[in-house]
Structure 1
Amino acid sequence: MFVAAYWWEVHPGKEEQFRAAWRRGTELIRERYGSLGSRLHREDRDDGAIRFIGVAEWPDRQTWRKAFDAKMVYDEPETRAAFVEAISDWAEEPLLLMEMTDDLLDRSP
């Protein structure tokens, strides 16, 4: 399994809009590009900024690379617009690219 992490800073008051667009966008990327899904994490920074970090799982580096090279985006215009409107800053390149070696995450309820 392969993991890619991304970050976005969000305008104050736009957190729920961002999360909704991110959820729908993640569904679209899973459907179109073959990701396994993603987790979203929130970081409330000391400087008052709100940053979200998405950690996406992919079957392998090649599947991720093909999607990344295709400039994967949220294909629904309204989802893309809501996402872009909510963010104030982002990284153009992934924060981390990693091969998973061991997985001890308990996914049971």
Structure 2
Amino acid sequence: MIYVLFRWELKPGSEQSFKEGWTEIIHRNIEKYGALGSRLHKTKDNQWISYSHWISEEHFNHARNLHDQHEEARVKMINAIAKAYPPIVMVPVLDNMVVTDPAQPQLYL
């Protein structure tokens, strides 16, 4: 099992197109290529960061190198990116993430 960290800087005004392309690619990867989910974040300094959970590095590499009917979604993402950083493949060592249901927020005040 691996996680992959991605980081981008987007062109001004291209956020919606990027999110649409990202969402389609993520669903494609989950449905067909062994991804176990992904999260997209925006930092305060306007960088976009995503991390994806994969069955294996082989599954990730296979999905990355495919050109299929989702090529339009990939183009949406690419056209929105001003700068892309190389992905970082990570192997979990310790995991203390608490998974909660956003519909049932926990209040710890």
- C-alpha distance in structure 2 between counterparts of 1:74 and 1:39, whole Å: 23
- Unaligned 5+ runs, structure 1: none
Q: 1:85 aligns with which of 79, 83, 86?
A: 79
* Offset of residue 73 of structure 1: 5.9
Alpha-carbon distance, 1:72 to partner: 4.6
Give deviations 1:33-59, integer Å, cap 9, x for gaps: 2101100010132xxxx3111100112
Shift of 1:77: 2.9
Residue number in structure 2 paired with 1:55: 51
Distance 1:81 1:67, change over 3 A: closer
* Contact map agreement 2:24 2:70 (CA 8 A) in 1: no
When the two structures are superposed, what TM-score results if normalisation uses the length of structure 2? Answer: 0.76
Identity %: 26
Size of the alignment, in residue pairs? 102
CA RMSD of aligned residues (A): 2.2
Q: State the partner residue of 2:90.
A: 97
Contact 1:33–1:72 (CA<8 Å) still a contact in 2? Answer: no
> Cα offset for 1:75?
4.3
Report matched runs for 1:1-109 at 5 Å: 1-45=1-45, 50-68=46-64, 71-72=65-66, 75-91=69-85, 93-109=86-102
Higher gyration radius (CA) = 2
Separation in 1, partners of 2:70, 2:41: 23
- Misfit runs of 4+, over 4 Å: 72-75
Q: Match of 2:53, SS?
A: strand
